[in-house]
Amino acid sequence: MALAALLTACAAPTLTPERVGQLAYAALGPEMQMGEQLTLVWIEAPGATAQPVANAAAEAARSPMVPELTAALSRAAREPINLAVGGPDSAYAAQVFLQALRAVPQPELPGLRVAFVGQRADAAQLAPVMAAKRAALHFEPPSD
């Protein structure tokens, strides 16, 4: 039992902002044009606990990041924006990003390219909204 826990801990590196940036650059870098930048959006879970957020959608609705992220996403209607999105709680990170994306008044964001680093189920929640906005979504699992 202890060996299984140790192997699991070794196999799953802690997700850090640096790791999100590395994985996102590997996904988006080949598509980026000269002069474009990759912006890291690290979405920290509320509180100081390491436990997943119980109701990610409700907590995300209260996040102070949503208005700031909405303003940044709005720029993708007129210019290319490459984002690396992730956080220690994948469900919460996806919900914060989803809340911001839905709040963008522009119907289309063709310049938006996002590499979401997290769980596949959380990325799947982003996919239909990203497609409706004509934005590109790349999913990257947090470990190799």
User: Helices 120-132 & 90-103, crossing angle to 10 degrees?
Assistant: 10
- List Cα–Cα distances, 56 to 26, 39, 92, 99, in angstroms: 28, 23, 5, 11
- Cα 69–Cα 22–Cα 142 angle in degrees, nearest 5: 80
48-70 residue pLDDT tens? 555 566 678 778 888 889 999 99
Query: Which has more pLDDT, 9 or 138?
Result: 138
User: Tokens at residue 14, please?
Assistant: 């802690």
Q: What is the structure's pLDDT at 9? A: 43
Cβ neighbourhood burial of 84 (10 Å; 0-12, 13-18, 19+): buried
